[in-house]
Chains A and B, each alone.
Chain A
Amino acid sequence: MSLIIKDLYARVKDGAQILNGVSLEIPKGQVHAVMGPNGSGKSTLSKVLCGHPDYEVISGTAELDGQDLFSMSVDERSRAGLFLAFQYPVEVPGVSNANFMRAALQARLPKGEELDAVSFYKTMRSTMSKLGMDTKFTARAVNEGFSGGEKKRNDVLQMMMLEPTYAILDETDSGLDVDALRIVSDGVNAMRAPFRSFMIITHYKRLLDYIRPDVVHVLYKGKIVRTAGYELVEQIEQNGFDFLKTEE
């Protein structure tokens, strides 16, 4: 069982082509890091996989445990186990964090089944305390007036509550201070399991020191140009992406 992306070409609707034949396989239980210079298509890849309406797939396939991802709606993909921690989490005015999470969990239950409110709040509170979040955040509107770091933490909270089987973290480390980075990483590490995999998009080694990836990919100009182990992270940290240019 895995997430398999084959020859994926995609573009902004009526606009520039960003992905130029991405192929990638993330087996269950593994953590894959995706690195690359700005504008190489990392965020686009995550959005295309999740079905963002601004992008369209030109060709190629993506399979999630054998299911054709591109034939599913955004919410079907989510309920099938795909999660995206946003680079810029969105504010939802007037909707409390607790109500939002309840609705999201309720959406996963079979028709007619009601989410147990008591155990929901218990889980939510204990997850929040793991992430060092004040419980008063349950009543606050989703991300509204949150600092950059609070938004990122809130997205990780949602991930931990929804327990996806495939999680994409898009630059979750940006905007986090050292303490927050450690707490968030602990949260992710605690979720690592043989039945779950992660795609971690980042620019920095810092995060990958906390969350050790099994495989590291470099995405450049919409294509995976290099795949290796952790040593690639160290190489990039020292020399940057210059090697890409010399290879061109």
Chain B
Amino acid sequence: MDESPFQIDTRGEFAFPENHRFDAGYGLTEATIDYICDAKGEPDWVRAFRKDALRRFREMPMPTHWAPQGINDLDFDKIRYYLAHGTAPYKSWEDVPDDVKRTFERLGVPEQERAFLAGVDAQYDSETAYNNMREELSKQGVIFVNSTEGLRDYEHIFRPWFGKVIPVNDNKFSALNHAAFSGGSFIYVPKGVKLSQPLQAYFRINSESMGQFERTLIIADEGAELMYMEGCTAPKYDSATLHSGVVELVALKGAKIQYVTVQNWATNVYNLVIQRGLAMEDAEIRWIDCNIGSGLTMKYPAVVLQGRRARGEVVSISLAHSGQLQDTGARMIHAAPDTTSNIVAKSISIGEGRASYRGEVNVLKGMKGCKNNTECDALLINPSSRTDTYPAISVNGNASAVQHEASVSQVDEEMLFYMQQRGLTRAQAMSLAVNGFINDLVKEFPMEYSVELRRLIDLEMEDSIG
């Protein structure tokens, strides 16, 4: 093993030496792409595809109107585009700093999960669990692999849809992801197969699971149903400061996909993710999204309602502290008649934290009978907290109903007094009030996430007031 421990710049959050078997170094060039392709053993068409994307990435400007200022601080040359540690364990639980362990304990994260979250390798138990699950799934014809395997072993299934929902030239970050992608999940659920258990990214542990340029493609064939979960409420530390994933969903006729994300990166991370789903006739796509971490998040899950009676939904919670900008929202493109969409977004700004909602609802020309409902509510905890709302609604069809409601509120002093009079400390009262504010959305998350979310909010309130 070569010994090259280095310290990560995480603003003192924590740092420990890592050993990567593969490291493409800083900056993104053709050589970087060759390095990635060689390391992953990719077919020639993928290599050509990546290089084409790199050219486009260089030519495209940074996004302007659909983007907050902070994004211009990004220096693409100071980023490492491919890190993988192969199969050899490179860290043990003992190496994880005590404060991180304590945070996990306070959150009540199960022992096994803690190790994974801290980046500790060689999780034999979860490997086994994953393999068992994979076997169970393959009996039903479900494919659940990483992006490398997906394009290599199931080209005929994934290639036709790869980059179709989010094309390479969609925007600069989409081009970047097309050039540098690694990690992420490729899933195919066959016709009529309804999965009762959610598929979890957690189980798909391998050397690339922490990929900064994650690439996920989920295809639900006609009448198929699935739920996919990624992320965790526990803080996730990573040496990579730019995370720019692309997630494409395809729900064919009558299919249902629910995609759940809980994001809690360290605040040195830029989290710029493109998520878009294509819903065909009678299909349904729901994005359930929670953003807690990262210094700058830009994320606007979208559904293109491509088939008649298709339904789209975005349920979004974001929490912004001092030093954080959560720029989140949703996009709904009504490209077929009788399509419906629903957006419910709630944000909480603490201290100097800033949360923004950006939304686009677009009913295309000639579409009839489309419905959209948008609700966004912001809660400000301190006088210095900030929230902004940028909705864009465009209706070009006839006989469609679009509705937008927004509210901004502060935690009511009278309510806090009432709760404190019953014996709760101010911090407890505040966290109960905040939990109450997002309660109807938290219910949309799977059980284990919702329990963790509530606990996390308790901790946030204790720290900000207590």
Contacts and interface: CB of A to CB of B under 8 A. Distances in A.
B224 to A, nearest CB: 34
Interface of A: 50, 52-53, 73-75, 77-79, 83-84, 86, 89-95, 99-100, 103-104, 107-108, 141, 158, 162
A84 B420 CA distance: 11
Contacts of B425: 73, 75, 107
B422 A95 contact: no
A162 B419 CA distance: 13
Nearest to A78: B423
A92 B432 contact: yes
9 contacts: A50-B417, A53-B413, A74-B421, A75-B420, A75-B421, A92-B418, A92-B433, A94-B437, A100-B432
Contacts of A90: 412, 414-415, 417-418
Interface in B419-459: 419-426, 428-429, 432-433, 435-440
A150 to B, nearest CB: 16
A241 B438 CA distance: 49
Contacts of B440: 94
Contacts of B432: 92, 95, 99-100, 103
Contacts of B426: 73-75
Identify the 4 closest CB pairs spanning chains A and B, nearest first.
Answer: A94-B436, A94-B439, A90-B418, A74-B420
A205 B90 CA distance: 79
Q: Which of B415, B421, B424 has the most CB of A within 10 A?
A: B421
Q: Which of A74, A103, A108, A141 has the most CB of B within 10 A?
A: A74
Interface of B: 412-415, 417-426, 428-429, 432-433, 435-440
B423 A75 contact: yes
Given A53-B413, A94-B440, A104 B435 contact: no
Given A75-B425, A75-B426, A103-B428, A92 B415 contact: yes
**DSSP class of B's interface residues: helix, strand, loop or mixed?**
helix
A93 B418 CA distance: 13
A159 to B, nearest CB: 10
A92 B419 contact: yes
Contacts of A74: 417, 420-421, 426
Contacts of A50: 417, 421
Contact of A84 (B412, B421, B424, B439): B421
Contact of B422 (A73, A93, A94, A100): A100
B422 A162 contact: yes
Contacts of A86: 418, 421
Contacts of A141: 436
Nearest to A99: B432
B1 to A, nearest CB: 44
Contact of B423 (A53, A93, A95, A162): A162
Given A91-B415, A162-B423, 15 more contacts: A53-B417, A73-B420, A73-B425, A74-B417, A75-B425, A92-B415, A92-B419, A92-B432, A94-B437, A95-B432, A95-B435, A95-B439, A99-B432, A100-B422, A107-B424
